């Protein structure tokens, strides 16, 4: 009998991650999963023997006093997170990253008023969880017929997502129906790649065999779809949960059998079924799934350090040849000493680069293992839109190369900041934050974006600033830019304009003589118009006119400086913000044609206050009244002669 075992059979990434997460928590005690962690009774039973209990409803969750609650791979509604938080329970989120991505899509698009359409089984926990993240009622469609019968206003914007395990061909048919109807629709193909690959492989194998076995839990949606796909291609298709359900008599006259399994089926169950179909199953299974005893390029091996030299590490990898790790394949830092980092007898995990390095030894890499693990974290961060931190290890012509746990992320110059920066060298060796906006390791394209974080931070700061400020408030900021007409002050979220006319109670000729970029400034908010903030340094308590009636009372003799002149008189600055008029007739006893004939700008003069009007802010001066009486007499005599 020939057996074709699907390469994609068994745990997918999300399920494996969820199951491992629960097993990591069992030692804590009082561990619960919200619903079965996966749709496989064997796994659930094993967890129950280790003390893990299942919470079946929101009400049951509310009655919980303490403990750790693990969110299953299918995800849950938003309100379940809220209940866990309110109850101060420990939350461990094992939601599949691909499902969480759907939550974010429907949350964001429904908040914008878009109609959410979900393609999937409305009673499946994954779909129920997605529904719980919509901000308005979504539409759930389970079949092509439902899509054909659905009518929506052509003006309504639509966002379409799918259950991650939905049949790929049916999904494409539904999309085609909506496109023909001319709807304003955005399609998100959220079927998991692993699901799509699994379904395609199942169909391919089913076409080639006489009988097909599909292994999985009876409540597993993705396993049911594998069964439906296989049944369509091979009439003799059998759906089983474990070896107990397998009737070997049905395969007595069969020469070729295909085996596949759902994403929630443990490998040991696949092994048991496969072992019953082939006498030498143990050997076949180990070779087809693990290949643990082979050494080939790309394989991960473990070895014991038997020697450490300045430039290389030698490992015993239980092979006919030793493994060699050069310093370059151990770390990106060439300044380290291998003898300080590694000890004889230590166990190291490494990746096979070459099975023969030219000297008959196996060339290994620790660095590449770390990079692959880091890439897995980067992919998860990409799917979850997480903020990452990394060190800038290189400044390139087009941007920055950032290292995150041995993985490299490229941040283009245009995405480094929200403003153009010609010189990026200041970022060298600096730790920066960013998000992954493109992840394609096959094409070596892992793109980071720092700009979006800065923009989001500034937007939040601006909103916070405008929420708290009002006209008349005193604020502090730093000078961001100085122009001929004023200075722009960074208030921490938005800039305020300090116009030249508001810099002093007196006249300011050149703002650049008063302020430098970076100066700290305390100012008053004079006006707010939309996002424009007008500032002033004219604090009322410093208003020079507050006590002007005492300082410049009629009869007081004052000293001032000639600020400017006209044909009818000169304006005298008594102090910044207070000018007085010295009329041409009050300069001297004799007739003067123009003030400029006897006075110069900047000249200091002494005069007497002859008029003071506070309401009009007007002061009149006279120099003439201070002249000695004999000058008056001499002038009169000269006139008579």
Q: Which of 265, 228, 224, 272 is nearest to 248 (CA)?
A: 272
**Where are the extended beta strands (E) located within 107-181?**
115-119, 139-141, 157-162
Q: Please give the full DSSP string across 568-610, using - where no structure is assigned.
A: SEEEEEEETTEEEEEEGGGS-SS--S-GGGT--TT-EEEEEEE
Residue 325 near residue 348 (C-beta atoms within 8 A): yes
Q: Name the H helices within 435-527.
A: 451-468
Helix and strand tally (H, E) in the chain?
Answer: 17, 32
CA distance readout (Å), 225 to 113, 117, 215, 365, 534: 33, 20, 12, 41, 64
Question: Which contacts of 249-256 are long-range, i.e. CB under 8 A and separated by 24 or more positions?
Answer: 250/211, 251/1, 251/211, 251/277, 254/1, 254/210, 254/211, 255/1, 255/2, 255/210, 256/1, 256/2, 256/3, 256/4, 256/208, 256/209, 256/210, 256/211
Residue 329 bears catalytic tag: no
Whether the CB-CB separation of 381 and 322 falls below 8 Å is answered with: no
Q: What region does 589 belong to: left with phi over 0, alpha with psi -120 to 50, or beta?
A: alpha
Alpha carbon 21 to its chain's center: 24
Query: Angle, to 10 degrees, between the axis of helix 193-208 and the axis of helix 168-181?
Result: 120
The whole-angstrom separation of Cα 533 and Cα 41 is 64
3-class secondary structure, 309? coil
Pairing of strands 90-93, 157-162: unpaired
Q: What is the bridge-based pairing of β-strands 474-482 and 520-529?
A: antiparallel
* Residue 218 tokens, joined: 């009876």
Distance from C-alpha of 278 to C-alpha of 1, rounded to nearest angstrom: 7
Strand order in the sheet with 237-240: 2-5, 256-261, 211-215, 237-240
Alpha helices in 150-254 (DSSP H): 168-181, 193-208, 221-233
Q: Report how far residue 136's alpha carbon sits from residue 569's, in angstroms, rounded to the nearest whole number.
A: 75
Cα 542-543-549 angle, rounded to 5 deg: 120
Closest CA to 136 of 161, 160, 110, 157: 110
Rounded-to-integer distance, Cα 585 and Cα 532, Å: 47
Vertex 259, ends 258 and 263: CA angle to 5°? 145
Beta strands 604-613 and 578-583 are: unpaired
Bridge partner residues of 325 (DSSP): 313, 364
Catalytic member of 42, 56, 90, 126? 126
Cβ proximity of 574 and 605 under 8 Å: no
Closest residue by Cα to residue 404 from 422, 386, 423, 421: 386
317 closest CA partner among 339, 348, 290: 348
Tell me if residue 525 falls in helix, strand or coil: strand
DSSP code for 327: G
What residues have CB less than 8 Å from 318, skipping those under 6 apart? 303
Q: Which residues are catalytic?
A: 126
């Amino acid at each position: 009998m020939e057996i074709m075992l699907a390469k994609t059979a068994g745990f997918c990434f999300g399920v494996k991650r969820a199951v491992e997460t629960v097993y990591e928590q069992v030692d804590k005690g009082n561990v619960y999963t919200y619903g079965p962690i996966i749709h496989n009774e064997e796994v659930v039973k094993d967890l129950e023997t280790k003390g893990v209990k299942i919470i079946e409803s929101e009400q049951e969750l509310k009655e919980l006093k303490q403990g750790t609650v693990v969110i299953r791979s299918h995800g849950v509604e938003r309100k379940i997170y809220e209940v866990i938080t309110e109850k101060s329970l420990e939350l461990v989120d094992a939601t599949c990253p691909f499902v969480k991505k759907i939550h974010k899509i429907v949350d964001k698009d429904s908040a914008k008023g878009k109609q959410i359409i979900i393609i999937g089984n409305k009673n499946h926990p994954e779909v129920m969880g997605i529904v719980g993240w919509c901000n308005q009622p979504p539409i759930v469609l389970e079949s092509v017929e439902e899509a054909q019968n659905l009518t929506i206003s052509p003006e309504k914007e639509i966002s379409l997502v799918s259950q991650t395990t939905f049949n790929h061909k049916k999904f494409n048919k539904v999309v085609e129906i909506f496109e023909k109807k001319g709807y304003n629709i955005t399609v998100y193909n959220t079927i998991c790649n692993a699901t799509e690959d699994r379904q395609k492989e199942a169909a391919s194998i089913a076409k080639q065999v006489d009988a097909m076995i599909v292994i999985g839990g009876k409540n597993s949606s993705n396993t049911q779809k594998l069964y439906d796909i296989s049944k369509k291609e091979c009439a003799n298709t059998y759906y089983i949960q474990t070896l107990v359900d397998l009737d070997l008599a049905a395969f007595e006259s069969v020469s070729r059998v295909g085996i596949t399994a759902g994403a929630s089926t443990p490998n040991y169950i696949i092994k048991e079924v496969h072992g019953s179909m082939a006498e030498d199953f143990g050997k076949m299974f180990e070779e087809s799934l693990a290949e643990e005893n082979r050494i080939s390029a790309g394989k991960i091996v473990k070895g014991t350090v038997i020697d450490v030299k300045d430039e290389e590490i030698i490992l015993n990898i239980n092979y006919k040849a030793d493994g060699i790790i050069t310093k370059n394949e151990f770390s990106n830092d060439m300044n380290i000493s291998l003898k300080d980092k590694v000890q004889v007898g230590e166990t190291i995990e490494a990746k096979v680069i070459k099975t023969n390095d030219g000297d008959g030894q196996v060339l290994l890499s620790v660095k590449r293992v770390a990079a692959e693990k880091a890439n897995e974290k980067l992919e998860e961060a990409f799917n979850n839109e997480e903020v990452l931190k990394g060190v800038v290890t290189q400044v390139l012509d087009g941007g920055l190369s950032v290292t995150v746990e041995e993985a490299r992320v490229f941040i283009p110059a245009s995405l480094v900041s929200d403003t153009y920066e010609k010189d990026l060298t200041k970022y060298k060796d600096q730790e920066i934050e960013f998000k992954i906006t493109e992840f394609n390791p096959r094409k070596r394209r892992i793109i980071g974006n720092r700009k979006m974080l800065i923009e989001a931070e500034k937007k939040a700061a601006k909103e916070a600033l405008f929420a708290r400020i009002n006209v008349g408030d005193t604020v502090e900021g730093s000078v961001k830019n100085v122009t001929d007409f004023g200075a722009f002050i960074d208030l921490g979220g938005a800039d305020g304009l300090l116009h030249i006319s508001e810099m002093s109670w007196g006249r300011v000729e050149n703002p650049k003589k008063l302020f430098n970029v970076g100066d700290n400034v305390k100012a008053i908010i004079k006006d707010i118009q939309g996002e424009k903030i007008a500032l002033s340094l004219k604090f009322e308590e410093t208003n020079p006119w507050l006590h002007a009636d005492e300082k410049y009372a009629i009869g007081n003799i004052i000293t001032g400086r000639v600020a400017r002149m006209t044909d009818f008189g000169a304006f005298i600055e008594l102090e910044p913000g207070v000018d007085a008029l010295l009329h041409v007739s009050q300069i001297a006893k004799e007739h003067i044609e123009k003030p400029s004939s006897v006075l110069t700008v900047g000249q200091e003069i002494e005069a007497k206050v002859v008029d003071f009007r506070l309401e009009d802010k007007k002061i009149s001066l006279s120099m003439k009244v201070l002249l000695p009486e004999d000058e008056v007499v001499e002038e009169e005599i000269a006139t008579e002669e």
